[in-house]
Amino acid sequence: MEKRLQKYKYASLLCLLPGFGLIIGLFLIFFAVFEFKSRSFILIILGEMAISVLFFILLKNDAEYQFHYSKESAVLFSREVVDDLNSIEQKLKDFKLKFGNYPDSLEQLEKEYPELHIKDPLSARNPKINKSVDYNYHSFDTTYLLFSSGIDAIPNTKDDIYPSQSKADSILKVKK
């Protein structure tokens, strides 16, 4: 019986595996209670299960952090930003055709076109730096300025992102 219990104690190391280890742990607790009647074995299994849960929580938190704040995620968000800005720019043009002027704010544009995404995912990554998580937008009499604050989440810096068409237009104007 003691030799069999020793084998189960070695098997209990599988309880350290996040997720899967909890299922194994429940199975082994059943054996510890009904077959071996060993309190020490139950305590070992519960301890290993607790370590497994803690390890899972740490992995989950690290994965969430990496998703939001790593350079790789910033590049992915940057691609999304360009698409969003291009969509917003098209709706700004549609709004001007419909009403004769550009909207005063992106919120006003969003009321007219609720499918728009006006939140800048790059700025939302660090709201302490940039209090506004919307894309940067300023309307003037005959034109507007629309951009993302970029990866650093600080407006008017080198990494700001502009809609594709606007950037192409501004480059052409500079060359002429």
Residue 36 · residue 6 · CB < 8 Å: no
Residue 101 is predicted with a pLDDT of 94
Domain boundaries, position 12: 2-68
Domain count, the chain: 2
Residues 89 and 137 occupy one common structural domain = yes
CA neighbours closer than 13 Å in the CB half-sphere of residue 120: 29
Residues 57 and 77 occupy one common structural domain = no
| Residue found under tokens 């909207």 | 103
How many CB atoms within 10 Å of residue 2? 6
Q: What span, in angstroms and rounded, lies between the C-alpha atoms of 11 and 14?
A: 6
Residues 84 and 136 occupy one common structural domain = yes
- Asked which of 68, 90, 112 is the last residue of a domain, the reply is 68
Residue 89 is predicted with a pLDDT of 96
- Quote the pTM value: 0.58
Q: Measured between alpha carbons, how far apart are the two ends of the chain, in Å? A: 90
Q: Give me the DSSP letters along 101-140.
A: S--SSHHHHHHH-TT---B-HHHHT-TTT-S--BPEEEE-
Residues 45 and 87 occupy one common structural domain = no
DSSP letter at 15 equals G
Residue 81 is predicted with a pLDDT of 92
Residue 130 is predicted with a pLDDT of 53
Residues 81 and 56 occupy one common structural domain = no
Residues 147 and 94 occupy one common structural domain = yes
Residues 78 and 56 occupy one common structural domain = no
CB within 8 A of 37, min separation 6: which ones? none
Residues 24 and 99 occupy one common structural domain = no
Q: What span, in angstroms and rounded, lies between the C-alpha atoms of 33 and 176?
A: 84
The CATH code of the domain that includes 120 is 3.30.700
Residues 25 and 38 occupy one common structural domain = yes
Residues 53 and 134 occupy one common structural domain = no
Residues 85 and 42 occupy one common structural domain = no
Residue 14 is predicted with a pLDDT of 87
Residue 127 is predicted with a pLDDT of 55
Enumerate residue ranges in the chain where pLDDT < 50.
166-176
Q: What span, in angstroms and rounded, lies between the C-alpha atoms of 131 and 72?
A: 23
Residue 59 · residue 18 · CB < 8 Å: yes
Residues 102 and 132 occupy one common structural domain = yes
Helices and strands, counts by H and E, the chain: 7, 2
